[in-house]
Chain A
């Protein structure tokens, strides 16, 4: 089944404790992206990657890191989480070219205390 997976789905952590949210897709998509979704603000792009070893900042990159060592994986790293990073996070992927329909993962609900 073609899909984007994320882990964990739910996470409660404390300020300053490093964490990684994994994202993996099995559709051989070149493009992958991370979004956060907050009430009233919609989905905002954090980072994106056009292909392996190519990453760039989105609209709200502060406090986040990413890496793209393999085509299928695009982990999101919070080196020192803070309460303002409490949010619902989505990973998405698509082929480059064409209509660029982005397929979303199931989401990760993160709470930073």
Chain B
């Protein structure tokens, strides 16, 4: 069973701090990795995707991928109260032509003013 695991949290950080969200996956051949943000009662929205080992930066967000260790992380710099949400890690399995995404159960982030 392919799995994606996240700590459910909540992860509580003060405003202005760096929030670090982590995700591990079991399918070693997975190729594509996505971070979605989901506000309470709303639908998931894509924040970032990453394909290659290393870091990818977009504004205050940095995704990090380490395929050898099978983990992907999301860093949020200068965290704001508006960043308080659940962050979903999603993985596209290797050799899957169905465009299926395997989601983790999400980490709830709370940014304290």
Chain A residues within CB distance 8 Å of chain B: 31, 33, 35, 40-45, 48, 50, 56, 58, 90, 94, 96, 99-102, 104-107
Interface size on B, residues (CB 8 A): 22
Contact A42–B106 (Cβ < 8 Å): yes
Contact B98–A104 (Cβ < 8 Å): no
A99 and B92 CA atoms in complex are apart in Å by 10
- At the interface, is chain A mostly helix, strand, loop or mixed? strand
The verdict on B78 contacting chain A, using a C-beta distance below 8 Å, is no
Stretch at the interface among B12-20, B37-45, B52-60, B61-69: B37-45
- One digit per residue, 1 when the CB lies within 8 angstroms of any chain A CB and 0 when it does not, for chain B 75-113 equals 000000000000010101000001111011110000000
Nearest A residue (CB) for B100: A45
Contact A42–B43 (Cβ < 8 Å): no
